[in-house]
Amino acid sequence: MSNDREIIINRAVQEIEEEMTVNLGIGMPTMIADKIPASKHVFLHSENGMLGIGPYPISGEEDPDLINAGKETVTAKTGASFFDNAESFAMIRGGHIDLAILGGMEVSEKGDLANWMIPGKMVKGMGGAMDIVQGAQKVVIIMNHVNKHGESKIRTACELPLTGEKVVDRLITDMAVFDFTEKGMVLTEILEGYDLASIQEKTEATFTVDEKLLEKEGSFSW
């Protein structure tokens, strides 16, 4: 795992609280399962019909019948349950998911999310993301701050097709953490090694800075 991914995942796992029902999106979010302390009692949900996902299996002990939404083999905790796809989405649409942690391609300053397709590239379908961002009680997006060309992925307005409008509650990148409030996009944390100037340089979107962050002079350690 690259260092920036490790940073993002270590910060994202802090969002998970005791007794939460949590949906982890495909890709980087699925790696969070291995970071949740064994002492923390949480319920990991997958839209393909599983509640009670555990860490990734040890090599050689994979069960092909136990997979997450990303078609990766997983383990099941004691007491895990299995159900059909319709039941899984009824949980999502019924507001029974406390927290969803999803990956992102772009996030706008209004909290819009684009994460399901890039025009011109083949995709299998929209997946469950459009339902999840509308049904989950809290939506946290994790992604790199800039793309492979060094361009900001946090934009004034998303250019890619939207997954949902004004659905992001918190954004965690390898550089910073932003919250989306009635006052707009607010910078709340800065990764150690960066400062406000570097965040502003790498962020296309307009944002304000939380007062507590200003008092701490941007010095944080995750």
Residue 126 has pLDDT above 80, yes or no: no
Q: Catalytic: which of 47, 106, 109, 189?
A: 47
The confidence score (pLDDT) of residue 135 equals: 97
| 63, pLDDT greater than 80 | yes
Task: Give the full edge-to-edge strand order of the sheet including 113-114.
Answer: 113-114, 106-108, 154-155
For residues 212-219, give the mean pLDDT: 70
114 Cβ contact list (under 8 Å, min separation 6):
104, 105, 106, 107, 158, 159, 160, 161, 162, 163
- pLDDT at position 220: 45
Q: Which two tokens stand for residue 6?
A: 């490790």
Q: Are strands 76-82 and 50-53 parallel, antiparallel or unpaired?
A: antiparallel
In this prediction, residue 4 has a pLDDT band, given cuts at 50, 70 and 90, of very high
| 66: pLDDT strictly greater than 60 | yes
Distance CA 128, CA 134 (A): 10
Lowest mean pLDDT among 72-76, 117-121, 124-128, 166-170: 124-128
Q: What's the pLDDT at 1? A: 59
Residue 36 has pLDDT above 60, yes or no: yes
Average pLDDT score, the chain: 93
pLDDT (average), residues 80-84: 96
**Across 13-37, average pLDDT:** 95
pLDDT of amino acid 191: 87
Based on the residue annotation, tell me whether 106 is a catalytic residue of this protein: no
**Is 64's pLDDT higher than 90?**
yes
State yes or no: pLDDT of 193 exceeds 70.
yes
Confidence of residue 59 (pLDDT cuts 50, 70, 90): very high
Helix H or strand E segment including 13 = none
pTM: 0.94
Domains of the chain, CATH where assigned: 3-173 (3.40.1080.10)
- For position 118, what pLDDT does the model report? 83
Query: What was the pLDDT predicted at 222?
Result: 39
pLDDT of residue 97: 98
Question: Is pLDDT of 217 > 70?
Answer: no
